[in-house]
Structure 1
Amino acid sequence: MNASQDKVDLMKSDKLYYQAPQHPVTVELPELAYLSIEGEGSPDGEGFASSAEALYKAAYSAKALSKAAGQDYVVPRLEGLWWVDGNRNGLEVPKEEWRWKLLIRLPDFVSEAMVETALVQAAAKNKDNALIGKVSRTLLKEGTCVQMLHVGPYATEPETLGAMYAYMKREKLVHNGLHHEIYISDPRRSAPEKMKTILRQPVDSES
């Protein structure tokens, strides 16, 4: 198998992005491309599940086109940006009011034109999921970030966030973007206490 046919796995090749220790660290990230879909409501709700399904349909359509063009890859892990409207603490807001943008990262060799074709094909093949029409290509440049690996159920994330915020205070860093999660583990296959999630927060120096 020649190099052009090797399957790219970003989880293995981009360790800075997909690996984090169980203590806060600062990293610098470039502008990257993603497939994305935006929505609101509880992550346990049907809207979230249907949006994630639509995003994966689009991601595998893009993978198929790229493979046909000579460059195959492993579809990366699901990610999410999270926020709430207004100047409120997201942890104190009902889940039904949470807003989110789900992401799946795209390798550099998947062009914008390829994504456009993939989205058209995915919509045509999956007419029962109209949410595919909401999927789009997104560029995200988070720059300087604090990140940490959270091990355990999603419900205990505030403990990890507390460690991150304490680190930010010591390093004189402030929030400069949306809360970002990378779901390393598949919740359908992992015990809650063994779940791994990278928590990431874009930051800037205190003015």
Structure 2
Amino acid sequence: MKKIHRDLYAAKDVPALLDVPELPCLMADGAGAPSGERYRSTVEAMYGVAYAVRAELKPTLTFSVAPLEGLWEGDPGDLTSMRWTSLIPQPEQVTAEMVERAVAAVRRKKPSARVDDIRLATLAEGRSAQILHTGPFSEEPATVGKLMKFIAEQGLSLAGRHHEIYLSNLERTAPEKVRTIIRYPVR
């Protein structure tokens, strides 16, 4: 995905407009804080499914699993009120049947895995504005403010949810070096 859609993963710290194509994605919905058990267990299960899909396609297609992404809505001041959709973009060759087999495989390996809500769906954002945020999530409001100012200056308005693309592994990256793309569909 990062090679095919370079512009989607190559944001800079200066806001920019881009056209996001429709993308097949593994998706799961939930509510609550990103530090909560539901979110963490859903993300873990999604990666299990993503790697199982990749293994099934490996004889004919070799690819890296794309970065985790999240669509968010709610009050950022009260993370427990957040509603989210976690997603991992997939190659166009992935089918719903492959995802069903991957879900079943993950369930067999780890019966407690939160796989029941994982589905294959299309993300259709179209025209979007994005910016790269470097640093801890607590400092995102300044970056979001910069992006919102840019959107207004372009005479555009928001047309979708707050979208984050996580480029860094949070377990291996110092908070001040965490890189996150922030994107909003616009019209």
Q: Please give the TM-score of this superposition, normalised by the length of structure 1.
A: 0.87
Amino acid at match of 2:27: S
Where do residues 5-84 of structure 1 align in structure 2 (5 Å cutoff)? 10-68=1-59, 70-84=60-74
Amino acid at match of 1:91: P
Q: C-alpha separation between the residues in 1 aligned to 2:146 and 2:135?
A: 15
CA shift for structure 1 position 122: 2.0
Aligned length: 187
Superposed CA RMSD in Å reads: 1.1
% same residue: 36
Q: For residue 181 of structure 1, give the secondary structure of its aligned residue in structure 2.
A: strand
Does residue 148 of structure 1 match 2:148?
no
CA shift for structure 1 position 121: 2.0
Which structure dedicates a bigger proportion of its chain to helix? 1
Q: For residue 2 of structure 2, give the secondary structure of its aligned residue in structure 1.
A: helix
Q: C-alpha separation between the residues in 1 aligned to 2:119 and 2:96?
A: 10
Q: For residue 48 of structure 1, give the secondary structure of its aligned residue in structure 2.
A: helix
More divergent stretch after superposition (111-120 vs 194-203): 111-120
1:199 paired residue number: 182
Counterpart among 143, 160, 167 of residue 184 in structure 1: 167
2:84 paired residue number: 100
CA shift for structure 1 position 165: 0.6
Q: For residue 98 of structure 2, give the secondary structure of its aligned residue in structure 1.
A: helix
1:120 paired residue number: 104
Q: Which structure 2 residue ranges, 5 or more long, are not aligned?
A: none
Q: Which structure 1 residue ranges, 5 or more long, are not aligned?
A: 1-9, 85-89
Deviations 1:99-156 (A, max 9, x none): 1010011012223332222222222222121x11111111111000000000111110
1:135 paired residue number: 118
Q: Please give the TM-score of this superposition, normalised by the length of structure 2.
A: 0.96
Q: For residue 34 of structure 1, give the secondary structure of its aligned residue in structure 2.
A: strand
Amino acid at match of 1:96: T
